Structure 1
């Protein structure tokens, strides 16, 4: 992940250097994820910079808040990127942080409906279909993109709570899970997603747009990374993260999941997310040397998993 606190002018070189890791035949990074948090940076602009600075990396948007985005305009932006950089974009959409949405007058009393209808509308438009949505919150009347992508990028839902995870299973191509959550949360999320997918016929329409249920569903999880052999430095570096996610997730500090510690410990925790069912693990490095943290993790991930 290109962290929100990194300066936008650093993104192009960060992306290019990240793509070069593993060129010697070792493990390599497959994805680069950019964020959209209020007052930091816009995700579409960041994704454009990252895509233009690389040739191979898949670039994920994690996430565009549905309350801030008109679905037709979002689909137009995504379609442009997907045409110019085919097969390299993942579009994340979520509820947005409630307090931030309230700050800009975008808070919605119908968060679930807004997200579901936004995802349905964006997915429909990206397929090139003439799309109409007459939902509780989204209104689109017979819109067809003039320049749809040849292959629509996956639209994934960045969500946390069980009802939102079920929503993601119903209408999205994948789910993005937030930092701080470990293997048990992955297993619970997969159960909720499966419930949502089971509620929609594989061949029949889902939601308001008449789209069929996505044929596959990718589970993506973000996790903080900090590799250091000194437990005291690890504790000091990760203390703000633990405090933030204790409050945000509403869980005890000891339950906040981190890929942190010496290299074998940090990477064992990354592997545990895969083993629990995550398809993609996105590392969010902590500290002022993010690429150094990624290199340390990749070096250890290149070694066979140790018995434990």
Structure 2
């Protein structure tokens, strides 16, 4: 059971360095960085965080496949994995449909693009030469000159049934969005399936974090927006909120329900690590 912390996308990018250094001194396992349209780049954020820490695994959650050529993405990930062996986890997803259309990158088949991207990136990171004339990805005899010895896991950031099944087939893990609760996890794991029986499949669950009596009011607008995106009622959006003990109980319930990694997302813009410290004390 791993515990991660997300560097919220609304925090100024220059705060990532002190945030990562402070987190590296705690018992937290992971630091997750975000790649959302218009905010910051996931690869550059991961590189920054890895360079100023010595212990944390840094996860990219997530790179949108429509914005990332698989060869270039494998080059970037391979470089990070060579420089910081064993400390990178790479999430790849469909990207938010509206954002991909805004960027002129909406694919004709998001499922085909994601499957072909993940398959190609994984093969390239293993040092293979890849030729693929797929529905969305076209590569002709490409390979990495410096493939990493410690190949980083590639996870799929997805939520729909078809995408979850795809993740089980082709990825080494699945990243689930904020709001997924312990009641949903067993069914989601079933949709993911066993995948390659010789390979463990890591399930990462993102969850909101806010410690304080104002938790319900503070998180209201975020929860309502996430509920609409997930297609659930606001009261069904799970989060680690309230007292430190209540937040810790939510994290423990996610672990118990089948999450291998719970990555909390502190929503407070001022001193977000205070919420992490309170959670750690309760855990």
Shared fold per TM-score greater than 0.5: yes
Report how far residue 142 of structure 1 moved.
1.1
Report how far residue 289 of structure 1 moved.
2.2
- Asked if 1:292 corresponds to 2:283, the answer is no
Which residue number corresponds to residue 253 of structure 1? 234
Report how far residue 216 of structure 1 moved.
1.3
Which residue number corresponds to residue 239 of structure 1? 220
Report how far residue 221 of structure 1 moved.
0.5
Local SS of the residue matching 1:163: helix
CA distance in 1, matches of 2:190, 2:168: 10
CA distance in 2, matches of 1:264, 1:134: 53
Which residue number corresponds to residue 209 of structure 1? none
Give per-residue Cα distances to partners, 1:141-165, cap 9 Å, x unaligned.
1111100001210000000011100
- Asked if 1:275 corresponds to 2:256, the answer is yes
Report how far residue 184 of structure 1 moved.
2.0
Runs of 4+ deviating beyond 2 Å: none
Which residues of structure 1 form unaligned runs of 5+?
22-27, 203-213, 302-308
Which residue number corresponds to residue 135 of structure 1? 134
Which residue number corresponds to residue 220 of structure 1? 204
Local SS of the residue matching 2:156: strand
- Asked if 1:10 corresponds to 2:15, the answer is yes
CA distance in 2, matches of 1:15, 1:166: 33
Name which one, 1 or 2, has greater alpha-carbon Rg.
1
Which residue number corresponds to residue 170 of structure 1? 169
Report how far residue 137 of structure 1 moved.
0.5
Give per-residue Cα distances to partners, 1:146-187, cap 9 Å, x unaligned.
000012100000000111000000000100000011012211
- Asked if 1:48 corresponds to 2:47, the answer is yes
Local SS of the residue matching 1:106: coil
CA distance in 2, matches of 1:66, 1:184: 29
CA distance in 1, matches of 2:141, 2:107: 25
Report how far residue 236 of structure 1 moved.
1.3
CA distance in 1, matches of 2:19, 2:132: 39
- Asked if 1:103 corresponds to 2:108, the answer is no
Give per-residue Cα distances to partners, 1:214-256, cap 9 Å, x unaligned.
711100010001111x2xx112111012111111101111101
Give per-residue Cα distances to partners, 1:275-305, cap 9 Å, x unaligned.
001000001012122100000000000xxxx
CA distance in 1, matches of 2:234, 2:20: 32
RMSD: 1.0
Report how far residue 109 of structure 1 moved.
2.1
CA distance in 1, matches of 2:59, 2:184: 22
Higher relative CO (Cα under 8 Å, sequence separation at least 6) belongs to 2
CA distance in 2, matches of 1:277, 1:124: 28
CA distance in 1, matches of 2:82, 2:255: 31
* Correspondence for 1:263 among 214, 232, 244: 244
For normalisation by structure 1, the TM-score amounts to 0.88
